[in-house]
Amino acid sequence: MAKNVAPVATYRVQLSPDFGFAELRRVLKPIVALGVSHLYLSPILAAMPGSTHGYDWAPPARINPELGGFDEFARLRASAARRGLGLILDIVPHHVGIADPASNPWWADILRHGLDSPYASWFDLLPTPDGIIELPVLGADGIEAVRLDDDGNLVYHDRVFPTADGTAGPGATAAEVADRQHYRLVPHASGRYGYRRFTDVTDLAALRLDVAEVYDATHGWLRDLVADDLVDGVRVDNLDGIAYPADYLRRLRTDLGPDRLVYVEKMLAPLERLSPDFACDGTTGYEQLAVLGMSFTSHAGLRELSELSEMTTGINGDATWTLLEQQKLKRDALARHYSAEHARMAVTLSAAIGEDAPAIAELCDATAEMIALMPVTRPDHHLESGLIREIGDVVADGNPLMRESIPLVLDAFEATPAAAAQLGQLCASVYTTAVENTLFYRNPRLVSLNELGCQAWLGLPSLTRFHAANAERAARHPLALTAVTTHDTKRSEDVRRRISMLSQVPQRWALAVAQITRSAPFPEPVIGMFVLQNIFGAWPVDDEGAVAPDEQWRERMRGYAVKAVRESGQDSSWSDPDAAFEARLTEWVDTVTGPDVSSPLVELVDLTFDAWRDDATAHKVVSLLCPGVGDIYQGTQWWTDSLTDPDNRRPVDYEQSLNHPKARAIIHALSVRRRHPDAFGPGSAYFPLTAQRDGVERILAFGRGPSADADPRVIVVCARFTYSFTEQLQQSTSLPLPPGTWHDRLAHRRFTGEAAVDALLDGQAFAVLERR
């Protein structure tokens, strides 16, 4: 099967106990009708009790019986293969779930036996000097709320921790038993922890994949599927968390063979290239998400939104503010959430430097500044480029007291792979916590830009930059995924596109904000402006425009508002929730979504409705026909109003009609890819096209062909900023076409030479032309 399914597009499915392999088999027909080539499944291994996502899998590795087990998986594979669909699996090698030690025998053994456990070397443990593993699980009620059960386990609310043999004798109190363990239960907000985690998530413990036994124990199940030809590719979760990713990918590629697809979840900064040492087909596409999304945002309107944001919230959210806030939040995240990993790296550096090593505190100070200024998530992937040394020199130039220590640190990073790997892992985790999980909830300027892959501090890309990025992608990673919505994105593609419409109507948005806040003042300006944009982006619509929200929708918005304010960490937080403020915030959400106050929002949704649908459809078509393999997240073949997890994992109604503007556009785009496989696969070329005359910046156009030496076979033409792309402006804009006769199969028209844009688009947001 692996050799027979050429990638055209993937369809991502979020499995759960309520929607397993059997349920997926029943809806294959409407998925196949889209024209996709592969199903792309969320993690399928048995996970922690009650898991709804699978990223907290529990050893030993086996296909989750709650999803249907191996037999149902094999049936799904057979059904998919009969319909020409391959299978890509999301694998989670970096960490395991530990919330319920009874469900994870590796972790339970460590808790019982401490560093003497045979599994201790399997985990990336960070014990205290006396060998104690600290578990940050206690809330405000502290150790006094811990009790013993009849089996001698320590119980804290719904969490149960095994105890070492002989430590829970008759008459012992829970506190006494807790003090006798190889672990300590410590406050969640203490910043203390005894193991490296998936970022700062307490219930996910990191594994050491550089240990051969660990790799074998976590990948044996995958080898078995490969041997039985039951899988066509994988997506590797959190590659940035793996100490030596190049070594890991080489071994994984050996196990999978040369024909199966390997995608990696990897954040790339603008202009950053994926390491050529990585044996994979490319990333999951967050860098492409940024290039695509920002290209549908108006530069001029964004400047006005910066002014509105500063006037309303005191934050303009521009490049300078974002960069400075990012650096500040990185320093804070490092100190609050990653002190143990930071100290370990300093110890590694000290050992590498030797007797001339600065004090551990000095090493921590110097590297903290380097981490705050680092422009990429994993700088150790760029050792040969001199990036780490360049950042170190900047730190030394700005901090005279560090000028002696920085050169020693830089030499140690370059000479010591373990230190460089620890720096890389730490930079990646700090970025996730500081930027993706905090800063993205604090910038109220235009929240559609607060998204995975986006680096708003670098500004919006020009069309020239869009074309350059896609030409490079075609040359380097033609099979990389192009994600525009995932289970991790902060909001769905359609919500982002509607919010980005505000850059086309900034004055109308300013008026709506003024009208709404006169009736319902923000509970706090920053979070109020942030949440209001998301409410606008997710406002329910039908085929004609805005409709009144129901209670289920309002409950989703209330839940989102609470999550957003806790993530921002300013007026409330996960570790110290402010119930009174959250109550005011949710009451405000109810008010602004109610009929007495919401009319300015409703009017703006209606005003931008046609342009939003055009932008959203064009954006989707570009994502499927630009270099890479388009990834369609479940349900996004229709309009979707999903916000961040867990809102984006709601059930999908597959009985909806595919006679829908977005679904029709997807079907057409993928049919073009299937008719011209050589123009989109390995070796294919990307050809930038430039419009002429008045509406140059309104048209995004490119060609695709089998090679740079051959003429393009397909041309994609899309409108941008459609709210004000009037018929008159379209008439005064043209696109010079490459030589030949070009056929628009959808509209049954032909073009040659220089074509008028109004004729090309003919009232639509896009046109796809094929050479006859």
- CA pair distance 535, 109, nearest whole angstrom: 47
Residues 6+ apart with CB under 8 A from 182: 110, 111, 112, 113, 114, 115, 131, 132, 133, 164
3-state secondary structure 33-54: CCCCCEEEECCCECECCCCCCC
- CA pair distance 74, 67, nearest whole angstrom: 12
Residue 2 has pLDDT above 50, yes or no: no
Task: Note the pLDDT of residue 460.
Answer: 65
Give phi and psi for 321, each to the nearest 5: -60, -45
- CA pair distance 73, 216, nearest whole angstrom: 22
Residue 458 has pLDDT above 70, yes or no: no
- CA pair distance 118, 110, nearest whole angstrom: 8
Integer CA distances (angstroms), 366 to 32, 287, 709, in order: 54, 30, 51
Task: Note the pLDDT of residue 174.
Answer: 95
Interval 237-283: pLDDT, tens: 999 999 999 999 999 999 999 999 999 999 988 778 999 999 999 99
- Bridge partner residues of 198 (DSSP): 201
Task: Note the pLDDT of residue 6.
Answer: 83
Tell me the two tokens of residue 725. 């792309």
Give phi and psi for 664, each to the nearest 5: -65, -40
Interval 638-688: pLDDT, tens: 999 999 999 999 999 999 999 999 999 999 999 999 999 999 999 999 999
CATH 3.30.1590.10 domain extents, the chain: 101-205
Give phi and psi for 372, each to the nearest 5: -65, -35
- Bridge partner residues of 282 (DSSP): 263
Band of the pLDDT at 532, cuts 50, 70, 90? very high
Interval 321-332: pLDDT, tens: 999 999 999 999
Cβ–Cβ under 8 Å, residues 123 and 241: no
CATH homologous superfamily of 101-205: Maltooligosyl trehalose synthase, domain 2 (3.30.1590.10)
- CA pair distance 174, 152, nearest whole angstrom: 9
CA 676 to chain centre: 30
- CA pair distance 718, 738, nearest whole angstrom: 17
Integer CA distances (angstroms), 600 to 62, 304, 444, 607, 609, in order: 53, 19, 19, 10, 14
Residue 636 has pLDDT above 90, yes or no: yes
Region for 711 from its dihedrals, namely left if φ exceeds 0, alpha if ψ lies in -120 to 50, beta otherwise: beta
- CA pair distance 246, 273, nearest whole angstrom: 14
Cα distance from N-terminal residue to C-terminal residue, the chain: 32
Starting at the edge strand found earlier in the chain, the sheet holding 733-736 runs 692-693, 733-736, 754-756
Task: Note the pLDDT of residue 456.
Answer: 62
Tell me the two tokens of residue 129. 């000097």
Residue 459 has pLDDT above 80, yes or no: no
Integer CA distances (angstroms), 769 to 610, 677, 714, 718, in order: 23, 15, 6, 11
Which of 3-17, 320-334, 410-424, 603-617 is predicted least confidently?
Answer: 3-17
Mean pLDDT, residues 573-602: 96
Helix (H) or strand (E) holding 488: none
Indicate the CATH number for domain 9-94+209-284. Answer: 3.20.20.80
Band of the pLDDT at 102, cuts 50, 70, 90? very high
Number of CB atoms found within 10 A of residue 539's CB: 24
CATH 3.20.20.80 domain extents, the chain: 9-94+209-284
Task: Note the pLDDT of residue 4.
Answer: 55
Mean pLDDT, residues 459-473: 86
- CA pair distance 228, 246, nearest whole angstrom: 26
Task: Note the pLDDT of residue 3.
Answer: 46
Report the share of the chain in percent with pLDDT over 90: 93
Taking the CA atoms of residue 643, residue 649, residue 651 and residue 655 in that order, the dihedral angle to the nearest 10 degrees is: 70
456 or 610, greater pLDDT: 610
Residue 45 has pLDDT above 80, yes or no: yes
Contacts 24+ apart (CB under 8 A), 544-549: 545/605, 545/606, 545/609, 546/602, 546/605, 546/606, 546/609, 548/595, 549/593
| Mean per-residue pLDDT of the chain | 95
**Residue found under tokens 């994105």:** 489
DSSP state of 92: -
Query: Does domain 516-607 correspond to CATH entry 1.10.10?
Result: yes
